[in-house]
């Protein structure tokens, strides 16, 4: 496999400080980043580093549990629960070398919260953190709505997590350590993909990145093979945000969904140990009506958009597997569709 080509690109860092008085400036900065890169980092967002560290500690405690305990909250088609090396990307045809636990606000989590006998206070602590991230997301939604000429609450109403049909998802991720010896193999902890949802917010631990982007797509097509990639590294308190396919469609392709991946380091001095990250996937309610202001695409519901994304994903995966002469029928019931990228289906990092 050819070595990865890299390019220096500016990924905007945007402060949300004094949001109410700086709203117009923040709207311009976020919309510019969404149009030109598809990725940006936010700081001064209101979630403290101790609060982020506490959630990472809860995540690490969960993944440290015995496999048979984690298996008591298995992933299901509602996009919640635990999975282990089951997400296969069409871009690689191989399973991501990671495990994840996906959490939602509503009734989809019934019976899928890890029990207090294993991790006391995990559920209330997780929900508290999820609501904090939701509050940050809603500020970003106000900015994106403004940029498209919608009312302030246009997107926030579509992502009302108090509704039982809420689909927004917090994904705890644990990537396994990789060999320290550089054997020339490019290992992807998460193969190249674009998130299919609305907007993703990602928390990374400093020194455990590996996130790379290949921006600038006008539509969702190939996987950036052969193109130049850019490493994404910010301080711990920054939240990395990226546009998903759904928002790209909702904006009539004005805001760009961008390919990204998590690649194991290649340089001898890079970090090869475990990697933990936390991704929050904003996904509209199933009954939300989705159509951009210019009506470039046909009106669909949030549920229809997700179903279409899943269909495209499995078609791409089937083609990849057939190319490798491997059966694919068994995959549908074992792979998460997570807020991850186009399936699992969804992201990330």
Domain of residue 60: give its range. 5-331
**CA of 328: how far to CAs of 85, 311, 335, 336, in Å?**
16, 14, 11, 14
**Which residue positions in the chain have pLDDT lower than 50?**
1, 218-221, 223-225, 328-349
Instruction: Decide if 85 is inside a domain.
Output: yes
pLDDT of residue 216: 56
166 closest CA partner among 282, 15, 5: 282
pLDDT in tens, 103-129: 999 888 999 999 999 999 999 999 999
Is the pTM higher than 0.75? The answer reads yes
| Residues 119 and 245: beta-carbon distance below 8 Å | no
CATH code at 174? 2.60.120.330
30 closest CA partner among 251, 211, 217: 251
Instruction: Decide if 345 is inside a domain.
Output: no
Instruction: Decide if 342 is inside a domain.
Output: no
339 closest CA partner among 173, 204, 114: 173
Distance of CA 180 to the CA centre of its chain: 27
* Coil, strand or helix at 95: strand
pLDDT of residue 347: 39
pLDDT of residue 49: 95
Instruction: Decide if 336 is inside a domain.
Output: no
pLDDT of residue 166: 87
**CA of 347: how far to CAs of 197, 237, 311, in Å?**
9, 21, 16
* DSSP β-bridge partners for residue 200: 242, 281
48 closest CA partner among 275, 174, 277, 236: 236
Instruction: Decide if 338 is inside a domain.
Output: no
Question: What is the gyration radius of the CA atoms in the chain, in angstroms?
Answer: 19
pLDDT of residue 335: 43
Token digits of residue 13: 């860092």
Q: At what angle do helices 122-147 and 19-36 cross, to 10 degrees?
A: 80
Instruction: Decide if 216 is inside a domain.
Output: yes
Q: What residues contact 12, with CB distance under 8 A and at least 6 apart?
A: 29, 32, 33, 37, 40, 41
* Structural domain total, the chain: 1
Instruction: Decide if 347 is inside a domain.
Output: no
pLDDT of residue 332: 44
* Coil, strand or helix at 231: strand
């Amino acid at each position: 496999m050819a070595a990865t080509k890299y390019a220096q690109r500016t990924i905007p860092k945007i402060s949300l400080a004094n949001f109410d008085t700086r709203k117009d400036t923040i709207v311009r900065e976020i919309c510019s980043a969404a149009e030109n890169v598809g990725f940006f980092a936010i700081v001064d967002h209101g979630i403290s580093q101790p609060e982020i560290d506490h959630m990472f500690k809860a995540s690490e405690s969960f993944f440290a549990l015995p496999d048979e305990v984690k298996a008591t909250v298995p992933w299901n088609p509602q996009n919640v629960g635990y999975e282990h090396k089951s997400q296969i990307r069409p871009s690689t045809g191989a399973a991501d070398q990671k495990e994840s636990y996906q959490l939602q606000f509503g009734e989809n989590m019934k019976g899928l919260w890890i029990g207090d006998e294993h991790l006391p206070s995990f559920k209330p602590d997780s929900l508290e953190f999820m609501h904090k991230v939701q509050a940050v997301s809603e500020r970003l939604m106000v900015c994106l709505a403004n940029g498209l000429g919608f009312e302030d609450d246009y997107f926030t109403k579509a992502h009302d997590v108090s509704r039982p049909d809420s689909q927004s998802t917090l994904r705890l991720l644990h990537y396994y350590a990789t060999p320290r010896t550089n054997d020339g193999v490019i290992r992807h902890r998460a193969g190249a993909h674009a998130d299919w949802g609305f907007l993703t917010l990602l928390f990374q631990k400093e020194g455990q990145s590996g996130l790379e982007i290949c921006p600038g797509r006008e539509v969702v097509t190939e996987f950036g093979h052969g193109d130049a990639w850019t490493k994404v590294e910010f301080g711990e308190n920054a939240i990395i945000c990226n546009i998903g396919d759904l928002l790209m469609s909702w904006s009539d392709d004005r805001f760009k969904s961008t390919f990204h991946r998590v690649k194991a380091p290649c340089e001898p001095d890079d970090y090869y140990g475990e990697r933990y990250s936390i991704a929050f996937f904003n996904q509209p309610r199933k009954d939300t009506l989705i159509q951009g202001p210019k009506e470039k695409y046909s009106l669909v519901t949030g549920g229809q958009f997700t179903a279409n994304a899943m269909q495209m994903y499995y078609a791409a995966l089937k083609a990849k597997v057939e190319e490798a002469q491997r059966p694919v029928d068994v995959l549908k019931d074992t792979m998460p569709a997570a807020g991850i990228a186009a399936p699992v289906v969804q992201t990330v990092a």
